[in-house]
Structure 1
């Protein structure tokens, strides 16, 4: 029989005369690491990492946040830990999913409530606003602004999903991709930890995924108490908090 499916773990066996719906058995690859509230063991073979919004508008000195006076130093803090962790995960067969804010140029799927968050006085300096050259429009898909920062060069095997809300599950194919990958456990990284990371993680937990926030690979430009509250809420209600550094140690 020929295997039919976009990924081996979720494929059928097919021939001219028969269809075999039994998926291949995936050998578990457990790994354990320190975490709060408890030490964790999870299966690398049923996991993926979601890296959220590590893009120029949030993390580059010439990006949108810096242009409106935000100190982006915290948003750049996950770059080095992620640069160390992602190759280790790829070597262990863990899918890397880049979940980047990248709006349509016409913003037709964005309601006024969302536009108001970033342009409260209607001055035209929010989502889609021109920021320099012709290819620079705030968080617009295909623009320099929405591109991943140069220090975190993706590999061809990585998966890219554009999002349009704080959570990456609304109006995107993220959940369909995760189902097709046969994932149970999701590692979360990126910015801002108290906004887009937490929103996506919360939705993931609510639909049944095991969620782990990697604290050294996530950060926020919000005040420190926001990061503290995020860590508390994740470990109290939605999953666990660990570090990429400890995961690298566990993988080696």
Structure 2
């Protein structure tokens, strides 16, 4: 076959590189070289060298399972805890130092009765959330506050659907970072609500007792605060939250917050896609949507990971 003169150097270079290219594209061999035991013969292991679960037991009657999520064959453990679950999987052993409680959008904007009167279930979730925060801190589990918090750049890149969804009149003028005016506080004082979900504004801060908990935890170094500019704090290739999880070898995530069928679900689903263990804590989460939306979250969270009640988690951590 006659090749155009211009192509000849490229073809010759590819021909010379063929052995190297074959090695690069032999992904199975490459994986085994890196992972060592990627093709484990242990039938109890599911996953690979870097990310796996170990099956500890299966109930012959209910088929409910107990899993070891510590990855202890390659990562050190401190004081693993077995957490009872309420879904199809009966329990899971976690490593506290590689676990985190992700609290999503429990902000004044979504929970304060003057701003969202219908968020009664969300306000009811504050007490269990505070209790779980303190139990997790004592056990070495990190607390990760993940909230809407826009800056000027976020306004530029925000998609039209989000701008419209948070607008009062379908215009940018009443969407993110628009002035929300004032409300009367609990003691009759005037509260500057601030710019809508803009970083540093009062409406973007955690609601009620959660604000004090966040400040205290950040000062102690047990808690970390992450701004987000999408429904999910883990969307796309990387986010501040995602980078923290990666750099600190976090593998197991407990989720709470509002709204459960929107931002909580979005983050949980992205975490599931990225290979994290996901645990939904329903009494620390809520939504203003119809009940069937919450049912969807619980059903699919059980499929994609685990479901656990905060009181059961606290008892297991202290046991």
- Answering whether residue 180 of structure 2 is matched by residue 115 of structure 1, we say no
1:144 is matched with 202
Deviations 1:119-167 (A, max 9, x none): 2632733322211156611111110011011311211221000001111
Deviations 1:92-125 (A, max 9, x none): 0100000011111461221222202222632733
Task: Map 1:203-222; keep pairs closer than 5 Å.
Answer: 203-222=270-289
Superposition CA RMSD, Å: 1.9
The 3-state SS of whatever aligns with 2:83 is: strand
When the two structures are superposed, what TM-score results if normalisation uses the length of structure 2? Answer: 0.66
Deviations 1:23-45 (A, max 9, x none): 98343523221321121222223
The 3-state SS of whatever aligns with 2:173 is: coil
The CA distance in 2 between the partners of 1:148 and 1:197, in whole Å, is: 15
Task: Map 1:92-171; keep pairs closer than 5 Å.
Answer: 92-105=139-152, 107-119=155-167, 121-122=170-171, 124-133=173-182, 136-152=194-210, 153-154=213-214, 155=217, 156=219, 157=221, 158-170=223-235
Residue of structure 1 aligned with 2:76, choices 21, 25, 28: 25
> Runs of 4 or more off by more than 6 Å in structure 1?
none
Asked whether the equivalents of residues 98 and 159 of structure 1 are also in contact (C-alpha less than 8 Å), the reply is yes
Deviation at 1:84, TM superposition (A): 0.9
Deviations 1:58-85 (A, max 9, x none): 011233xx2xxx5121221210101111
Unaligned runs of 5+ in 1: 1-22
Relative to its length, the structure with more helix (as a share) is 2
2:118 is matched with 71
- Answering whether residue 283 of structure 2 is matched by residue 234 of structure 1, we say no
The CA distance in 2 between the partners of 1:232 and 1:25, in whole Å, is: 33
Larger radius of gyration: 2
1:202 is matched with 269
Deviations 1:159-215 (A, max 9, x none): 000001111013631111001221111000000100000000000000100000001
Asked whether the equivalents of residues 78 and 96 of structure 2 are also in contact (C-alpha less than 8 Å), the reply is no
Asked whether the equivalents of residues 256 and 264 of structure 2 are also in contact (C-alpha less than 8 Å), the reply is yes
Indicate the larger mover: 33-42 or 130-139: 130-139
Asked whether the equivalents of residues 121 and 287 of structure 2 are also in contact (C-alpha less than 8 Å), the reply is yes
- Answering whether residue 240 of structure 2 is matched by residue 173 of structure 1, we say yes
Asked whether the equivalents of residues 31 and 43 of structure 1 are also in contact (C-alpha less than 8 Å), the reply is no
Asked whether the equivalents of residues 162 and 172 of structure 1 are also in contact (C-alpha less than 8 Å), the reply is no
The CA distance in 1 between the partners of 2:199 and 2:161, in whole Å, is: 20
